[in-house]
A and B are shown apart, each in its own frame.
Chain A
């Protein structure tokens, strides 16, 4: 089973979620949110959302509580860096 079935003769893609594959597979560490520290979770209202704003892959939801789509989170750790409450910890993938 080779790649000929795609019938491309040059590099080709379409703008679609998952077009580059499940990029979460690239991750070597993943973010863990502590609800005791997260501003959104603690106040139970739309607030802060800096992780949502800064995530370069748009995998953080603007919801209460915040959720992260681990199928596409590449584990860059920007959310953990930006979090003003230090609520996000990056944990090594096993």
Chain B
């Protein structure tokens, strides 16, 4: 069990910075943006005070921040960056590069809405929009999970050489203080061994990494058949397909050492007898648990399924968690324009071919910081139950909890 750990009152950004510090990051490059800025401020303070032996590299943009991290990761440094919203969008190209180069960068995404129009408040459009860049995405429900997930993210990323994005809701978590158990450096060191890069830059054995790679495989000078572009893409997909096992093993070992287990991809609450399941991601999961309490008081058997890991999407776990459900109500703080919320599409996709024949309803909520109250979630579930007699399993488009 944990030794010398202590409970402190931290906001989410401070928890993220403590997580990076305890992970002994060696290179930090980040550009400030609301609501992420305090993460960068805190880390630069750690470095300046000599509390963290790292290079803090000031850059002129988020694109450069991640370019610095990928380069430093390639030469063997443990790297950390953080961003939000427009900043994350500006990193888009380098997100692809980090994943394609198989560099275990860890990024804290402080979820914020994206313009136009300008908005600095919370939703999850920013990270959901980066879903297909090949990064593992983990969503935190509270500040403890932010700190714990960042430490675990390095173990996961460096085991399978896939970058990890730890996402948490802007302001709702980033600027809200709550008790956080901060593990001792000694225990984190036992949990997280030094980073061993898969790329070796050695003047005596020069290599060219991530060179122009053609469509077809090629035979190199030593007569070895090397991957074409498509084989490398296959290997990235394979790494994510197989990453669930690593994520669970790392989460379990974390639990054994620190007493908080993450041997899961989903947070399951009261699913045992539930025939109505609320699905959400991030801090909204906590609100959904309050909504479930309200609905339970009214006699409904309601459970909550929280998506902890969004990529890889835990299809089999989702099917198993939802197998007893009769009604699934999915709340998304994002929208894939012209279709529906992203998690709704993915849950439907996971259920295809399973025995689950539940009614599915999707609600878009909380965009641009719109407050989401437990009472509103409960009302949406009640509304979904009333619509059951119409007999349609699904709806063409989601409903919105807004004033239109």
Contact = CB atoms under 8 A, between A and B. Distances in A.
A17 B102 CA distance: 27
Nearest to B199: A10
A8 interface: yes
Contacts of B206: 14-15
B232 A11 contact: yes
B228 interface: yes
B259 interface: no
A10 B232 contact: yes
Contact of B231 (A3, A18, A19, A21): A3
Interface stretch (B81-89, B105-113, B210-218): B210-218
Contacts of A13: 207-208, 211, 220, 226
B209 A11 contact: yes
Contacts of A17: 221
A5 interface: yes
A3 B217 CA distance: 7
Contact of B102 (A2, A6, A9): A9
Interface string A12-37: 11111111110000000000000000
Given A3-B231, A14-B206, A14-B207, A9 B161 contact: yes
Majority-rule SS of A interface residues: loop
Contacts of A6: 220, 224-227
Contact of A20 (B199, B218, B227, B239): B218
B354 to A, nearest CB: 32
B209 A10 contact: yes
Contact of A10 (B100, B221, B224, B225): B100
Interface string B218-256: 111110111110011001000100000000000000000
Contacts of B175: none
Interface residues of A, number: 19
A9 B101 CA distance: 8
Interface residues of B, number: 29
A82 B285 CA distance: 70
Nearest to B221: A16
Nearest to B220: A19
Contacts of B218: 20-21
Contacts of B232: 8-11
A14 B224 CA distance: 12
Nearest to A15: B206
B213 A11 contact: yes
Contacts of A19: 220-221
Interface string B97-132: 000111000000000000000000000000000000
A8 B227 contact: yes
Nearest to A23: B218
Contacts of A3: 217, 225-228, 231
A20 B218 CA distance: 7
B231 A14 contact: no
A9 B235 contact: yes
Interface of B: 100-102, 161, 198-199, 205-211, 213, 217-222, 224-228, 231-232, 235, 239
Given A6-B226, A9-B239, A21-B219, 5 more contacts: A3-B226, A9-B161, A10-B101, A13-B211, A15-B206
Interface of A: 1-3, 5-6, 8-21
